Structure 1
């Protein structure tokens, strides 16, 4: 039993630290002391088709109508937590951008540091460092939501989020990121 508890504590340390209470995490997000990193809503399949082009959504894996509703529920959840406006940043992939847009919390700004690493895994450490530097360069107190991909979130946190799952991460952002709360897909 003691060994299991030790292993759990060790795993939590590797994954970015002991979790705060969920309400404290939401408060930190509202105050801009944390950031919400969200995996895009479900898009059937894995990776992108061989003919993938960033400028053509028809060549990408996209959200279906069922999962667009999941993104809308994220917007409703955020509003219920007192976040009605936020700076929204997303990967330039259509499924991430569409997830961010469907939340209806403000304009969505493309951020290449959130782009999928699926085909560029050797860049994971560099791209994660770029994201950390970029987030930490924003004015403290900025309420922000980032929409990205499983491989990116795993590179930053060591965690494997479900589609549509959100992670509230402490600011300043670090490598690995310090996890305050995991929020299940609404």
Structure 2
């Protein structure tokens, strides 16, 4: 189609008008395709988790303002931690509703021992099992190698039936997958066995 240049003050000929109309139509088509591509990718990943056997890593839902935890934080005392906001609690509930609406099978629910993760898991899926390797790695680089090794072993384990859901922190998901997810975003990992796995995609429930 070439490049259409219209200079202010120049008369618009029928040919120029036709080229402009075609360019506008092409832009509309490209915009529609760009919008449709993520939706198709989402449906592919939803189909994968519907079939079961995946490790679904979920970052906890949105919290009250802050980074990390307050000084003196204790795992046994939620009042000393940075916890979910009301918006985060509602978002966690929507994640669970999306799983139920799509009949996504879940066989096991594991969570970081941090209260914001436990609450996210509980509101979305029910009672979780606290699991230390899912703990927050933010500011704890000395724990990275040990935790990533345990997470990789579980993520690579082939399973039949439902999925395993792992509610954790952005820093922990990033250490395992290289992906820094948004709050309540899911990173789906397909186990390949023998200590190997592959990131199959990401899912977000709004």
The TM-score with structure 2 as length reference comes to 0.72
* 1:1-186 pair list within 5 angstroms: 21-43=41-63, 44-83=65-104, 85-103=106-124, 105-137=125-157, 139-172=159-192, 178-186=198-206
Larger Rg: 2
Q: Number of matched residues? A: 166
Secondary structure in structure 1 of the residue aligned to 2:97: helix
Secondary structure in structure 2 of the residue aligned to 1:178: strand
- Cα separation, partners in 2 of 1:45 and 1:30, compared to 1, 3 Å: same
Secondary structure in structure 1 of the residue aligned to 2:104: coil
Residues 134 and 168 in structure 2, CA contact (< 8 A), matched pair in contact too: yes
Q: 1:138 & 1:106 partners in 2: Cα distance?
A: 24
Bigger mean CA deviation after superposition, 169-178 or 31-40: 169-178
Residues 89 and 120 in structure 2, CA contact (< 8 A), matched pair in contact too: yes
Bigger mean CA deviation after superposition, 173-182 or 27-36: 173-182
Give the C-alpha shift of residue 28 in structure 1.
2.6
Q: Which one scores higher on RCO, CA 8 angstroms, separation ≥ 6?
A: 1
Displaced runs of 4+ in structure 1, greater than 6 A?
A: 173-176
Give the C-alpha shift of residue 138 in structure 1.
7.2
1:71-119, Cα deviation, whole Å (9 max, x unpaired): 000001111221265421100000000000011x332111111011113
Q: 2:150 & 2:178 partners in 1: Cα distance?
A: 17
Give the C-alpha shift of residue 169 in structure 1.
1.3
Q: 1:25 & 1:173 partners in 2: Cα distance?
A: 20
- Cα separation, partners in 2 of 1:50 and 1:175, compared to 1, 3 Å: farther
Give the C-alpha shift of residue 135 in structure 1.
4.1
Unpaired runs of 5+ in structure 2?
A: 1-39
Secondary structure in structure 1 of the residue aligned to 2:167: strand
- Cα separation, partners in 2 of 1:185 and 1:122, compared to 1, 3 Å: farther
